[in-house]
Amino acid sequence: MTDRELVEKAFSMLEYAYVPYSKFPVGAALLMKDGTVFTGCNVENAAYGSTICAERTAILKAVSEGHRDDWVRIAVVGNSQDYCWPCGACRQMLYEFCPQLEVLVARKDHDFVKLSLAELLPRGFGPKSLE
């Protein structure tokens, strides 16, 4: 799957976002080595702390289906002028499973940039940090 196709897959998730409070839909698409893609959208809650981001939705779907060490890249998209950068909690969750992950972030005009998770979360804390 090309970078562009993964970004567009993430954009297709915006329509499913549940965002009655922020009105800021986010979509994500997480690609596995075997070509499987796990998608996600953000789901808000009146108890704000219970809200889950699009990236974490895709992560939980992948892990719950047995995919823990075969991640290739993730696309994160939103309807904003700026690129839709993953929040700190999402960066940490991504690092837990794939410190070398490639990250594509897009803005509403579908332009995107590609960078490594290490660039987004330098000196990340992960399982090896506990050894």
Question: What gap in Å lies between CA 39 and CA 24, rounded to an integer?
Answer: 17
55 part of the active site: yes
Measured at the CA of 71, the angle between CA 52 and CA 75, to 5 degrees, comes to 55
Q: Which of 5, 15, 55, 131 is catalytic?
A: 55
Question: What gap in Å lies between CA 20 and CA 15, rounded to an integer?
Answer: 13
Measured at the CA of 65, the angle between CA 131 and CA 18, to 5 degrees, comes to 105
Catalytic residues: 55
